[in-house]
């Protein structure tokens, strides 16, 4: 991405700030992308990954940060969207020095970006970041369990919305049984679902099949399994034209970030009559848990994660009414919440002394984007 295309992309996609960081002393190459802080500071993970080059790292940071804005807005959180990426192999022996150098750059943003764990980073890494940055999130607990709870709430809402049925006897194929996928299988099994699972790690797959009675499926065939729901919980970009041609499931609801391979896929799914819950709707449970951790208040955590089901219904209802694809509908809903708040808050906010959320000057409102009761969940307010 050259300078012009970066500045054009920032303008086209309304990015507030993109920081490209280099530290010759440690060899650090990293990017901090802050998409939108209208609702609050931008909370998002630090990803460590060996990219093709720095341009690819910038592109990934931008995509992930923008999705975080919509995820937070739709979850009713007073948070903006951001993400940072370190362009390095996570197995590098000098990774701690890179993390430390990256943390110093995050510190220069004065709380506009709140870091958390992501692919390639660990809770230990966040302890290092915490020496330079306050607050950090995701140090106290693994958010994956809440992500899984939200995915299951989304599956339940999607299937019962269209069929009026419960999940008992529904067949769900989970691609990837790592931190999130394993919990998804466990929760689904408790609800009488017939789980199917695939993972490139045979030991992990064996364990999940033994423990929760899931049926193992070949990695190459999981997205084409003869089931009702596909739940991609591995890498992003897995749903492309080829996968769509082979898809037998009526529902696609998973945790994997940016699971659609390209921009035409939402329309293609709609044309095929497939009910697709956007990843940034279904996988918000982890973010909700991180936000509760930063605020130090878990009192409504479980209910807030379950509310992903109401948001799912609202998105699917609106998509049915308008004929638009679910990604367009969900982004419109998120933007309408952000736009409503934009007039009420200045672009940059002052640091509030002693606040857990350092750049929010007004008390957090916690107003839900969508009603929390199923009866009232017909559409956005």
Q: Which residues participate in catalysis according to the annotation?
A: 83
Q: How far is the C-alpha of 212 from the C-alpha of 195, rounded, in Å?
A: 8
Q: How far is the C-alpha of 198 from the C-alpha of 138, rounded, in Å?
A: 27
Is residue 76 a contact point for ligand NAI (CB under 6 A)? no
Binder to ligand NAI among 94, 131, 200, 262 (CB under 6 A)? 200
Contact status, residue 369 vs residue 337, Cβ threshold 8 Å: yes
Is residue 286 a contact point for ligand NAI (CB under 6 A)? yes
Is residue 144 a contact point for ligand NAI (CB under 6 A)? yes
Task: List, as one string, the DSSP characters of 266-333.
Answer: HHHHHHTT-EEE-HHHHTTHHHHHHHHHHHT--TTHHHHHHTHHHHHHHHHHHHHHH---HHHHHHHH
DSSP, collapsed to helix, strand or coil, labels residue 171 as: strand
For ligand NAI, which is the closer residue by CB, 113 or 318?
A: 113
Binder to ligand NAI among 175, 311, 312, 326 (CB under 6 A)? 175
The interface region with ligand NAI, picked from 48-56, 155-163, 178-186, 265-273 by CB under 6 A, is: 178-186
Contact status, residue 307 vs residue 258, Cβ threshold 8 Å: no
CB of 189 to ligand NAI, least distance (A): 17
Is residue 139 a contact point for ligand NAI (CB under 6 A)? no
Is residue 204 a contact point for ligand NAI (CB under 6 A)? yes
Edge-to-edge strands, sheet with 215-216: 215-216, 194-198, 171-175, 229-232, 251-253, 275-277
**Token representation of residue 59:** 């592109």
DSSP, collapsed to helix, strand or coil, labels residue 368 as: coil
For ligand NAI, which is the closer residue by CB, 141 or 295?
A: 141
Is residue 177 a contact point for ligand NAI (CB under 6 A)? yes
The interface region with ligand NAI, picked from 158-166, 252-260, 303-311, 329-337 by CB under 6 A, is: 252-260
The interface region with ligand NAI, picked from 26-34, 156-164, 200-208, 343-351 by CB under 6 A, is: 200-208
The interface region with ligand NAI, picked from 158-166, 254-262, 336-344, 367-375 by CB under 6 A, is: 254-262
Q: Which of 121, 20, 30, 13 is nearest to 68 (CA)?
A: 13
CB of 118 to ligand NAI, least distance (A): 7
Is residue 198 a contact point for ligand NAI (CB under 6 A)? yes
Sequence-ordered list of residues with C-beta below 8 angstroms from that of 263, at least 6 positions apart, any chain: none
Q: Strand runs (DSSP E) across the chain, as ranges?
A: 17-23, 28-36, 42-49, 80-87, 113-117, 171-175, 194-198, 215-216, 229-232, 251-253, 275-277
CB of 256 to ligand NAI, least distance (A): 4
Q: How far is the C-alpha of 79 from the C-alpha of 249, rounded, in Å?
A: 34
Binder to ligand NAI among 87, 149, 257, 326 (CB under 6 A)? 257
The interface with ligand NAI within residues 35-64 (CB under 6 A) comprises none
For ligand NAI, which is the closer residue by CB, 137 or 144?
A: 144
Can you give the binding site for ligand NAI, defined by CB under 6 A?
A: 119, 143-144, 147, 175-181, 198-201, 204, 219, 233-236, 255-257, 283, 286
């Amino acid at each position: 991405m050259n300078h012009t295309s970066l500045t054009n992309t920032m303008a086209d996609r309304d990015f507030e700030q993109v920081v490209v960081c280099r530290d010759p002393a440690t060899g650090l190459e990293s990017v901090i992308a802050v998409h939108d802080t209208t609702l609050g500071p931008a909370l998002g993970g630090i990803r460590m990954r060996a990219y093709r080059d720095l341009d690819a790292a910038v592109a990934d940071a931008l995509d992930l940060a923008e999705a975080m804005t919509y995820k937070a807005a739709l979850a009713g959180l007073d948070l903006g969207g951001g993400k940072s990426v370190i362009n390095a192999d996570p197995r590098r022996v000098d990774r701690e020095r890179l993390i430390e150098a990256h943390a110093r750059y995050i510190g220069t943003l004065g709380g506009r970006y709140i870091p958390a764990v992501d692919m390639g980073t660990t809770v230990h890494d966040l302890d290092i970041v915490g020496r330079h940055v306050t607050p950090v999130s995701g140090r106290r607990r693994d958010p994956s369990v809440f992500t899984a709870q939200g995915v299951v709430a989304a599956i339940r809402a999607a299937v019962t919305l269209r069929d009026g049925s419960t999940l008992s006897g529904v067949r769900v194929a989970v691609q990837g049984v790592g931190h999130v996928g394993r919990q998804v299988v466990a929760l689904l099994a408790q609800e009488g679902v017939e789980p199917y699972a695939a993972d490139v790690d045979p030991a992990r797959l064996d364990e999940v099949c033994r423990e929760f009675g899931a049926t193992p499926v070949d990695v190459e065939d999981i997205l084409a399994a003869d089931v009702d729901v596909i739940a991609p919980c591995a890498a992003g970009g897995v749903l492309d034209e080829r996968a769509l041609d082979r898809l037998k499931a009526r529902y696609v609801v998973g945790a994997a970030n940016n699971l659609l391979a390209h921009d035409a896929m939402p329309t293609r799914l709609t044309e095929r009559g497939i009910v697709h819950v956007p990843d940034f709707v279904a996988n918000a449970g982890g973010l909700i848990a991180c936000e509760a951790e930063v605020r130090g208040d878990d009192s409504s955590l479980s209910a807030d994660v379950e509310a992903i089901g109401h948001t799912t219904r609202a998105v699917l209802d609106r998509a049915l009414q308008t004929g638009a694809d679910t990604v367009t509908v969900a982004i419109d809903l998120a933007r309408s919440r952000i736009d409503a708040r934009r007039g009420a808050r200045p672009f940059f906010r002052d640091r509030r002394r002693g606040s857990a959320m350092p750049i929010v000057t007004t008390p957090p409102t916690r107003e839900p984007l969508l009603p929390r009761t199923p009866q009232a969940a017909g559409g956005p307010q």
